[in-house]
Structure 1
Amino acid sequence: MLTMESFCLEAAKSRSVARYYEHLGQGRRSSEVVYNVAGMRLTQFRAILTVSVMAVIVMAVVIVVLMPQRKETVPTEPYCETEDCFQHSYRLLAKLNHSLDPCEDFSAYVCSAWSPPQGYLEHSNSAMDDVRKLWFPAFSDMLSLGSNTIRVGLKPLAMYSSCMADHSVYGSNVKIF
């Protein structure tokens, strides 16, 4: 038979055992393995999860560091596919001095093969004058074609036509400008 004294002793023992297990497992009795890592208590599942996450992070960093960087490549499609572009390319390439190395003397490579067209010195002061002389005769046609495509082009065509018109009919606008 249990006496009050033996009952109190048994209760005290069970309380101390309960406190011991509370201290170890925060109030629960468990058969899980508990690891103490850097002062933190980890169960086996949490320890495996932590190690796995760290391994994934390390692998990602290694892949990013060792992965070769993509180099930009030169486009494989040609830019110049129109007749005008080919003409422009031909005119530029025809004026280069291909006997010189452009890496040694680029200025000579580009400029030494250029010779002024016949009559250049008599009528032109620069290469831009040459461009203007070649461009100007076709300007009226270009404005006419443009105004057929884009209606806004009618205004520049009217201005150009006004400037090029016979001034004896309407008079001159020079005083206005």
Structure 2
Amino acid sequence: METRQVVERAVVREARPEDDAVVGDLLVEAFLTQYAKKLPEVVYGEERKRELRDVASRRKVATVLVAEVDGQVVGTVALFKPGAPDTEAWLPNAADLRGLATAVSHHGAGLGRPLLDAAEARAREWGVDAVCLHVRRGAVGVARMYMRRGYAREPVGDLDLPTVFLEAYVLRFKKD
């Protein structure tokens, strides 16, 4: 399947309750598979898997987007408004982007682009100044993908959590 064809057929929309199970499984599978390849020392416990699968709770506090190809959900990303519960944005008027993932069957198909385009467009509609996100330290390819889109490393937003160190990146929107 040619990558360009997949991206052209992708439809990005807001997740619905009936998508929750598929999105949760997609997140677990994508994160486990990618980290197993690129960061073999990363282990996801049952609690983290439960968090990833709890899409219904995430939809209550964030806009969860999905990418569909031929009617099948094959990608997702979540965007939290400034001040939303559990936001990790460190800037006052910034959205928080999290959980970008594609189905393992569609890795490398370019689906991150339309998902990020839609999330960033939504953030602009909200009138925010920036989009903040975090990348697990060591996930160099992921960080490079965001930097190619214009995100800049901003260590002031780093999170040193008990089980993981997350490096901060920000995409600032130009004001007219």
TM-score tier by shorter-chain length is under 0.3
Kindly indicate which of the two structures has a greater share of residues assigned to strand. 2
Q: Which has the larger radius of gyration?
A: 1
TM norm structure 2 = 0.18
Larger RCO of the pair (alpha carbons < 8 Å, separation 6+): 2
